[in-house]
Amino acid sequence: MEVRDSNGNILNEGDTVTLIKDLKVRGSSSVLKRGSVVKNIKLTDDEGEIEGRVEKVMMVLKTEFLKKA
């Protein structure tokens, strides 16, 4: 299974990615700003999603809103 970012680059465990769009956090009033850095990502069973720590909170992010740093 190959996990790819919005530009088509292959993502691996431990990579660093940046957000390409402001994202509203479901269940919260906070917003993740474009350009936020997510370090040390973890791959999930779904090739369209990764796990990463953003602002000290572990979140699942869709790869269509990420680019490899």
Number of domain units in the chain? 1
d(CA 16, CA 64): 15
Residue 69 exposure: Cα atoms within 13 Å on the Cβ side: 13
Low-confidence spans in the chain with pLDDT less than 50: none
- In DSSP notation, 11-68 reads E-TT--EEESS-EEPTTSS-EEPTT-EEEEEEE-SSTTEEEEEETTEEEEEEGGGEEE
Tokens describing residue 25: 């956090």
Instruction: Report the pLDDT value the prediction gives residue 1, as an integer from 0 to 100.
Output: 84
> What domain range is 28 assigned to?
3-68
Q: Read off the pTM.
A: 0.89
Per-residue pLDDT, 45: 95
Assign residue 46 the CATH number of its domain: 2.30.30.40
